[in-house]
Structure 1
């Protein structure tokens, strides 16, 4: 394994941070192990899911195949990418060196332990598996809170609310699965936590990255900066998500989701995404965020009984969550490994695959006679998206950072 980029001595007993010690490159920055591990797990879980659906293997029979699949996408794959983002973004917010070395390796090991435990509830028991899985998110929450508080970035503490809700949703997921066999409420609260984080953090990075790119192109018109309208949009969306999480059916849910969709469309329009089409590394952020209002529309349609709940949830989980995660993974990996901030042909194929997956998977609501084709197509597109990411970006994640930008 290659050594990390720099070796700067620290006082004895100090917690290693940033590029302060020799060791594997993989544990020099939070995005490296978690983006790599998350992408690998995204592929593994999809292969296992498809294989189990066809009856060739049995997975987590004591926990329930469908519950396992939902959990590992939301709290397995999703939590890894969230961790990679937070452990990379928080140092930028606080100005502190990133957590690295053995603390980062320990946190990543905790995530891996959860994945192994969730594969083996038939062997170690459902409750022990759930307990081992439940260790990771609280640890991530504590580390993130410590860094933000130490950096006195009080305004950024609000993003930890989403991580806290996600942590509680994970515990609720296990409880509902074990107690009643149907993680209904916890699934919606978990999805809502991710969407709320996209609304908050996306509102920072999308107009910022768009403005930076447009400025380099000599543009004179830029995205509207964060203002009261954005705050109203976030609060309206969080309220709609809360209503949906508690009561997914009914006119009130449909109205709340419809209002949130309309105001989110307006917010996205203010960011002028159509002006960035020459650079898909920027455009994909806008396209992924488009699935926020589309997801609210799907919630409204499901609340009125026009489509099934699962299809509405997949608009949010595949389109919004996974689309935005892949967009952030590609950009952050390029930027933090010294590559040029431009999308390659393979990166564009990654984007195309995840977007097609997001569009095809909800078709099961209206093309029920072709479920096998829809599931197979969506699964292959998912594997293509994250498989191509691993092929192109995997080597970047385990190699020393380039000293100069391309």
Structure 2
């Protein structure tokens, strides 16, 4: 099998590589723009929307959609026993994703309807395949993923409707709704894999007590509030109500992560990265709730969610899945473990940049530099994993990472 055919042979390969490369390239453009601005210069981007909107949109609907696509194309067949997507489908849907990125970047010279069609095509094609796989063994807790994915697509649609000129005030609600849909996805999927992977590692190490506790009533409470929150933004609910929803979702998420015995994972980066990013996501929801109630910066809270929550969790999941599904030991390579630590630092720097006006420029530039380094380390360290053959299975008795 050629390396190119192998790349499109499994969803995680092409999409996790694309997510990493895009995280580097898109942030490099944004960093260059900010640096030139800080030096008093002017940089023009070929986008129809202002550069800050391009940056926000492409992090939420560009980078994150690639990470989601790779995860769902890999996880759903495992959940249901359905046949994995064939090479051709993966190549075609990856082409839809790439067409969206090119169209949004070049939107200044393209008809806005064409840009919208190019960017909005990826998720429905992906969702149709996932629906077919999920219906093989339908379960409500898995079908809810498609409902969240639908809200995510609607949020992007609202952005494009304003860019087309059909609405006048839906860009920011769409961007916030999209980001908070990703935060809700972390509450659902992160709340499933983090305690599950931790429990498995503990049991395999011989530990039989004080395992992660994940009470379903608390999980349902946190997930319900988290899913309702982006809907509230898209529907234009009052800020006070949105603040209460965010506080409930975030506080419940923080209680959940405390019950998962995260301290046990302190010498296992492949695990603590999941715990830490889930906790930051929950803390970001709390910060957003407080901001909506008049306490703190909303922009700071949104970046805590976007960088530390979404960025951290996707990096942790993409690296773990790539190693595991290619037969490699579940041990984060040194550069990837360093990347796990850099992303929360980037979130902290960006939070400080918004929360403390005097730190805005150094905070934003530092955050961008840390993000760039983290994802560059990820791409370089796992390059051969994405392109190379699957490794032989390890003996069953080998201790876990």
Q: Which residue of 1 aligns with 2:171?
A: 183
- 1:366 and 2:345 equivalent? no
| Among candidates 376, 381, 387, match of residue 365 of structure 2 | 376
User: How has the CA–CA distance of structure 1 residues 193 and 139 changed in structure 2, closer, same or farther, with 3 Å as cutoff?
Assistant: same
CA distance in 1, matches of 2:273, 2:284: 17
1:191-228, Cα deviation, whole Å (9 max, x unpaired)? 12111111111121111100011112211221124522
Number of the residue aligned with 2:93: 107
Partner of residue 291 from structure 1, selected from 280, 294, 297? 280
From 380, 385, 396, give the equivalent of 1:396: 385
Match for 1:120 among 94, 106, 116? Answer: 106
* Superposed counterparts of 1:286-325, under 5 Å: 286-325=275-314
Conservation of the 8 A alpha-carbon contact between 1:233 and 1:264 = yes
Q: Is the 8 A contact 1:176 1:186 kept in 2?
A: no
- Alignment map for 1:5-404 (pairs within 5 Å): 24-53=5-34, 54=36, 55=41, 57-153=43-139, 155-179=141-165, 180=168, 183-220=171-208, 221-243=210-232, 246=235, 250-404=239-393
Name 1:12's counterpart in structure 2: none
Partner of 1:10: none
Instruction: Name the CA distance, whole Å, in 2 between partners of 1:243 and 1:47.
Output: 33
Is the 1:3–1:400 contact (alpha carbons within 8 Å) kept by the matching residues of 2?
A: no
Matched, 1:3 2:2: yes
Cα 1:378–1:315, aligned 2, differ >3 Å: closer, same or farther?
A: same
Question: Structure 1 residues 323 and 214 mapped into 2: Cα distance closer, same or farther (>3 Å)?
Answer: same
Q: Which residue of 2 aligns with 1:19?
A: none
Number of aligned residue pairs: 387
Between stretches 256-265 and 37-46, larger displacement belongs to 256-265
Question: For 2:135, what is the secondary structure of its paired residue?
Answer: helix
Q: Is the 8 A contact 1:249 1:303 kept in 2?
A: no
Q: Which runs of 5+ in 2 are unaligned?
A: 396-401
Secondary structure of 2:275 counterpart: helix
CA deviations on 1:210-247 (whole Å, 9 max, x unpaired) are: 00111122112211245222112212333345445555
- Tell me the CA shift for residue 135 of structure 1: 0.8
SS in structure 1 of the partner of residue 49 of structure 2: coil
Judge conservation of contact 1:298–1:312 (CA < 8 Å) in 2.
yes
CA distance in 2, matches of 1:245, 1:182: 8
Q: 1 CA distance for matches of 2:316 and 2:52?
A: 27
Which stretch has the larger CA shift, 57-66 or 265-274?
57-66
How far did residue 301 of structure 1 move?
A: 2.5
Give the CA deviation at 1:297: 1.7
Secondary structure of residue in 2 paired with 1:24: helix
Q: TM-score, normalised by structure 2?
A: 0.91
Q: Please tell me whether the aligned partners of residues 107 and 140 of structure 1 are also in contact (alpha carbons under 8 angstroms).
A: yes
Taking the aligned partners of 2:102 and 2:232, their CA distance within structure 1 comes to 34
* Structure 1 range deviating more: 51-60 or 229-238: 51-60
Bigger CA drift: 27-36 or 295-304?
295-304
Aligned-partner Cα distance in 2 for 1:396–1:106: 22
Aligned partners of 2:354, 2:110: CA distance in 1, in Å?
Answer: 37
Matched residue SS, 1:307: coil
Assess if the C-alpha contact under 8 Å between 1:273 and 1:286 holds in 2. yes
Q: How far, CA to CA, are the matches of 1:310 and 1:107 in structure 2?
A: 33
Query: What is the aligned-residue RMSD (CA, Å)?
Result: 2.0
Query: When the two structures are superposed, what TM-score results if normalisation uses the length of structure 1?
Result: 0.90
By how many angstroms is 1:385 displaced?
1.0
CA distance, structure 1, for counterparts of residue 230 and residue 261 of structure 2:
26
